[in-house]
Amino acid sequence: MIREFFLGFIKIHILYHAGEEPVYGAELAQELARHGYELSPGTLYPTLHRLHEQGYLDRETRVVDGRARKYYTLTDKGKLALNEARHKIAELVAEVLEGE
């Protein structure tokens, strides 16, 4: 159950960072670890794949140091979803953290 909640938070982090600049898997794994989410590649990569399939992320392969790396950026659909999430997060924080 807890894991299921966090996966939602993780997706919002991914959308947010992909909206700031193009991001790739290993970089996101580090960023998420910084936030306290230890994600295995077996969770992260399918999540990125799904966000791409669903049209929230664009994907572009670039060759870096002789290795192909997939970079993700936020699509317009992703921007809309992130904006909607922002409002819901603000509302949730206001309610849940009220009186903390």
Footprint of Zn ion on this chain (CB under 5 A)?
Answer: 13, 31
User: What DSSP designation does 56 have?
Assistant: S
Q: Which residue number, 30 or 40, has a Cβ lying nearer to Zn ion?
A: 30
Residue 84 Cβ, how far from Zn ion at the closest point, in Å?
Answer: 19
Look-up: residue for tokens 């949730």? Answer: 92
Which residue is closest to Zn ion by CB? Answer: 13
Residue 32 Cβ, how far from Zn ion at the closest point, in Å?
Answer: 7
Residue 99 Cβ, how far from Zn ion at the closest point, in Å?
Answer: 26
Q: Is 99 left (phi over 0), alpha (psi -120 to 50) or beta?
A: left
Give the H or E element holding residue 6: helix 2-20
